[in-house]
Amino acid sequence: MNDNPRVIALPRDQRLPGNGGDSLATERPEVTRVLRNTYALLSLTLLFSAGVAAAGVAFQWPAPGLVLTLVGFFGLLFAVHKLQNSGWALPAVFALTGFMGYTLGPMLSHTLALPGGAQTIVTALGATGATFVSLSAYVLTTRRDFSFMGGFLFAGIVVALMLMLAAFFFQMPALALAVSGLVALLSVGLILFETSRIVSGGETNYVLATVGLYVSVFNLFTSLLSLLGMGGDE
């Protein structure tokens, strides 16, 4: 079983303001601005994270392990929230996403060592991209309110985190794969939830919006990678 656990962020706010017919993004310049800045920063952080992960594969960087992964992720996430309105917010975001790219490197190396590993990575990456674009387009065109998912997502993430720790400490590969499936579903819900918050004006800080979407995309990719790679892993 892979010893590089994924990280899961809890929804920041379970309450989402209603987004009736008068809350079109095109009719609210602040929403358009947040969306534009969020997707621009998200693209840069994904590229940066991918570059760090590629370097990890090339130089065979060791896996950070459970403790360092959790401490590093939650510590940097806390820093992003503390610095969200300062000039240090962007460096904190890139530090967080770079660290997550570092944790991804060993997982990619492990997958590449399996039969058909390169194809598995490409398939997981394509499925992640297609899912994110489809879900984002759905929310942006329908402007549907997904605030009702907040409580379910919060409970699901807590359960997934507990099961992930159990699978790690008790070395239960079958449970780890089940957790991967659960995290993939939760990530889909979080993408809908986070995008809906931006469109409705519930999230006005593009730094926090970027981090929320980035973590969801990261977890979706790593979950799909685990599920697709299970055939070649003992």
Q: What is the pTM of this model?
A: 0.87
pLDDT at position 234 is 44
Percent of the chain with pLDDT strictly greater than 90: 76
At residue 188 the predicted structure's pLDDT band, cuts being 50, 70 and 90, is very high
How far apart, in whole angstroms, are the C-alpha atoms of residue 219 and residue 161? 12
Joined together, the tokens standing for residue 15 give 């309450």
Which tens digits make up the pLDDT trace of 2-30? 555 555 555 554 434 444 444 444 457 88
Which tens digits make up the pLDDT trace of 77-121? 999 999 999 999 999 999 999 999 999 999 999 999 999 999 999
Task: Please choose, from the candidates 205, 179, 189, 184, the residue with its C-alpha nearest in 3D space to the C-alpha of residue 154.
Answer: 189
How far apart, in whole angstroms, are the C-alpha atoms of residue 74 and residue 166? 19
Domain boundaries, the chain: 25-232
CB 72 within 8 A of CB 99: yes
10: phi > 0 → left, psi -120 to 50 → alpha, else beta; which?
beta
